[in-house]
Amino acid sequence: MAIALDPRHLALLRELSARGSITAVAAATHRTPSAISQQLRAATQDVGTALVERKGRGIQLTEAGRLMAEAAIEVDIALERARSRVEALLHSPEGTVRIAALPSAAEYLLAKTIVELADEPIDIDFQDEDVAERTFAELARNNDIVIGHSLVSPTPVGAEDLHCAVICQEPIDIALPGTHPLAKASAIRSCDLVGESWISVPVGFPFDTILQTIEQMTGNPATVTQRVRDNRVVESLVIAGVGIALLPRYTTRQRQGLALRPLADIATQRWVVALSRADRAERTVVKRVNEILQRVGQQRERA
């Protein structure tokens, strides 16, 4: 028996795989849950076997459903690649690229990228997102490019199935009050930090990984007095003597009363990366923006 494969059904199963529920797919595709359910029934009838099954109060894809969702990715990549080649033949890249970015990376990437695109028919639709490392991959569902970071590898946790392009590598330094005794040192070792009070980030955010490594190296638990997302707030707390912190070198302001020192015995750098779904990464306009982001990032590294 021949199986009917409608590309629209493949796309539906891909979205169900990525988003996990009919309600979430409906919201993302601006349709009603009943319309999604109706299409799912039609897909099941066309294929001749169950594509989803109940799991608790929700649903999950069956093996057949997972195979079709995986095939949908391959189809979407092939379509975008073909479209990209034809567009490249006919005209230069054009369109709108939706970007979600970590604020501390966007600070030195976004403005220069927009300026470089000023004479090109490319618009940037930007939103800032300060989230845990794993959430960057989730943002790729609704954005063309997600600028995230990782302290472990060039691929953030959860982004293994995404297209990942390294924009730059940025050192993470120890931030100290200017009057702190360690501010006189050219570099700091983890053992020097035992007994310090810390201004850290929420648990699950990449910088917290470094603090955990310091704890492992010294065998002493860190005393965290505050957990803060905004680096500017962290800077002010450090200057006030509330604690020391970990801050990115490229965007931490040179402020009176604030000293940055490298950590000598632990690798403290972050990979700033551009994440995209594999098919979106094939779009000519996305490739063009990624090209500029990487160039701007490399310029910042060399500065």
Beta strands in the chain (DSSP E): 52-55, 58-61, 95-101, 122-128, 145-150, 163-177, 197-200, 223-227, 244-248, 258-261, 269-276
> 95-101 and 122-128 as β-strands: parallel, antiparallel, unpaired?
parallel
The per-residue pLDDT for 178 is 95
Instruction: State CA 78 to chain mean position distance.
Output: 24
Average pLDDT over residues 2-14: 84
The strand pair at 145-150 and 197-200 is best described as unpaired
pLDDT of residue 2: 62
Predicted confidence band of residue 126 (pLDDT cuts 50, 70, 90): very high
pLDDT at 148 over 70: yes
pTM: 0.82
State the pLDDT at residue 102: 94
Q: Work out the average pLDDT over 109-135.
A: 94
Closest C-alpha among 260, 239, 286, 6 to residue 145: 286
Q: What pLDDT sits at residue 212?
A: 93
pLDDT band with cut points at 50, 70 and 90 for residue 87: confident
Q: Among all chains, which residue has been given the structure tokens 């590898």? A: 153
Instruction: Tell me what pLDDT residue 54 has.
Output: 87
Scored b (16 or more CB within 10 A) or e, 58-80 reads ebebeebbeebbbebbebbbeeb
Q: What is the mean pLDDT of residues 52-81?
A: 89
Are the C-beta atoms of 147 and 224 separated by less than 8 Å? no
